[in-house]
Amino acid sequence: MNHKLLIGFHAVGVRIKVHPQTVLEIQIDSARRDQRMRQFAQRAQEAGIRILPSNDALLTKTCGTPRHQGVVARVQPLPVSHSLDDTLDAVSGEPLLLVLDGVTDPHNLGACLRVADGAGACAVIAPKDHAVGVNATVAKVASGAAETVPYFMVTNLARTLAELKEREIRIVGLADDAGESLYARDLRGPLAFVLGAEGSGLRQLTRKTCDALVHLPMLGAVDSLNVSVASGICLYEALRQRAGAQGE
């Protein structure tokens, strides 16, 4: 049977909450008898999910990492039933998107998905040839957000950004050398933030496709932030401005 692995309390817990019928079985470290594990096992049993006792060494071998928290689930892949167009068509209100250009580290992607979920972004977009897919590490770091935020890997990022523009979605890129601060830009209305990988930043074609470029003020010794931290700052600034507009 085709299946995938989810690891850790958050990722498996969200799947149990949202799509319990897709959880085939959960392996847990029988040496863990703390309250968190007992409560987790009880929720899984109440959902009618098969629980198999295991140990730390076997779980590490199964999922390829020792950072499993004693919980590994075999689940059916969720059907990818929506295209980006379908997702945008279903948005009520003004869409907010996160575009990642060249983010290949699974921990960074997982953290970005978590931030996107918290900020209510309707999707995360990345190019197929300069990105990491959603794997077990991404799902664990995302703490369940990999189950809730649509993640689209597109063949041609510049073309996808152009299609977003056709929908009157403004494209705002983050660049260290941009002349305008994030906080000086009006971020209300349909919007997509584009962030590149640490160090390399946005690719040239992606940069040219943006409607505007902004920077984050850096007042200390470091000259850049982790992409997930920067994503959170950008998305939540857009939320702040939108909330202010609603109160006007």
Distance CA 60, CA 137 (A): 13
**190-200 pLDDT, tens per residue?**
999 999 987 77
pTM of the model: 0.73
Q: Report CA torsion sign: 106, 144, 243, 92.
A: positive
Q: What is the pLDDT of residues 18-61, one digit of tens each?
A: 889 999 999 999 999 999 999 999 999 999 999 999 999 999 99
User: Within a 10 A sphere around the Cβ of 134, how many other Cβ atoms?
Assistant: 20
Query: Domains along the chain?
Result: 4-75 (3.30.1330.30), 84-246 (3.40.1280.10)
Phi and psi angles of residue 29, each rounded to the nearest 5 degrees, phi first:
-75, 110
Rounded distance between C-alpha atoms, residue 14 and residue 20, angstroms: 9
Helices (H), 97-211: 106-119, 136-142, 157-166, 204-209
> What does the pLDDT read at residue 245?
63
For residue 96, the Cα-to-chain-centroid distance in whole angstroms is 13
pLDDT digits (tens, 9 = 90+) for 166-190: 999 999 999 999 999 999 999 999 9
What pLDDT, in 10s, does the model give residues 73-123? Answer: 999 877 655 788 888 888 878 999 999 998 999 999 999 999 999 999 999
The CA distances from residue 248 to 46, 189, 199, 241, 243, in Å, are 47, 15, 39, 11, 9
Q: What pLDDT was estimated at residue 26?
A: 96
Q: What percent of the chain has pLDDT over 90?
A: 65
Burial class (CB in 10 A: 0-12, 13-18, 19+), 179: exposed
Q: What tens digit of pLDDT does each residue of 193-222 get?
A: 999 987 778 999 999 999 999 999 988 888
Name the residue among 144, 233, 139, 224 with its Cα closest to residue 178. Answer: 224
Q: What is the pLDDT of residue 54?
A: 96
Distance of alpha carbon 132 from its chain centroid, rounded?
Answer: 11
CA 242 to CA 87: how far, in whole Å?
A: 21
